Amino acid sequence: MVKYRNSSFQSVGFHVLCTLIALLAMYPLLWMLASSFKEPEKVFVDAHSLIPQVWNFSNFARGWQGFAGITFATFYKNTIIVVLLSTAGMIASCSWIAYGFARIPFRFKKFWFATVMITLLLPSQIILIPQYIIFYKMHWVNTILPLVVPSFFGSAFFIFLIMQFIRTIPDELDESAKIDGCSRFAVFFRIVLPLIVPAIVTTAIFQFYWSWENFFDAMIYLGRPKMYTLGVALRMFSDPTSHTDWSGMFAMASLSILPPIAVFFIFQRYIVDGISTTGLKG
């Protein structure tokens, strides 16, 4: 009985601790959401309070109007286009490259795989200037191409993730398909691809998140307001030289996090399956 009570107390204590940590982590989001309903002049005056004295729903309508005659519908559209294209490119390139490293023998295979993995050690700032020069000479600046095209060449992290997942699939399935007359492409599309759906969904979700929150690249390559993504548009809401509509900005920031939250709750099972399964076999 004493052992059972100790176990119950430990369980309750663990859940209370997890709840406190979750509330601490969620506090910035709750503060932003509460600020989106406050009067603009009350955002920082009542910063300590999460409950607005007056619920001002007009902040969302005012924020949605955007700036420079461009509404946030345009910024949402630009962001969705960039996210969908970059996610599709990342899935297509990484899954095929990972299959090549996991299943296809070729010369200097270990060397090329090590070269791909070394790119994980390169900070993005190192390649920023030469990459910008290349895109500038190709006349891609002020277009979405610099934000989309690199994803069609894969990412070392996702290549490794999918490759580890493919290695959990028995080689006998490939051999049986080849005996039946399947080519490399047929084996990949008919046998391997349906079995690596959890890894592909995990790749899609992470790429979706990273593309959705990509502020640095969008700020560099997109110079026209009509091409802005959500991150850049929210940054332009703040004007240090004049009055800043903080309530409108927080209202649009609250709306901007809804798609990532929805994607997480819909596909969270695939995230767990994809990450846990990739570590079963080296």
Enumerate the domain spans of the chain: 4-12+15-60, 63-277
**Contact call for residues 219 and 237 (beta carbons, < 8 A):** no
Residue 156's contacts (CB-CB under 8 Å, 6 or more residues apart) are: 116, 117, 119, 120
Secondary structure (3-state) at 9: helix
The size of the chain, in residues, is 282
**How many C-beta neighbours within 10 Å does residue 214 have?**
19
Distance CA 133, CA 138 (A): 9
CATH architecture of the domain 63-277 equals Orthogonal Bundle (1.10)
What DSSP string describes 99-132?
Answer: HHHHH---TTHHHHHHHHHHGGGS-TTTTHHHHH
Reading the chain (282 residues) residue by residue, the pLDDT tens digits are: 545 556 666 777 788 888 889 888 888 888 888 888 888 888 888 878 888 888 888 889 888 988 878 889 999 999 999 999 999 999 999 999 999 999 888 889 999 999 999 988 888 888 889 999 999 999 999 999 999 999 999 899 999 989 988 888 888 888 888 888 888 888 888 888 888 888 898 899 899 999 998 888 999 999 888 999 998 988 887 765 556 778 888 889 888 888 888 888 887 777 666 555 554 443
Question: Comparing C-alpha atoms, which of 194, 257, 230, 200 is closest to residue 82?
Answer: 230
pLDDT of residue 207: 92
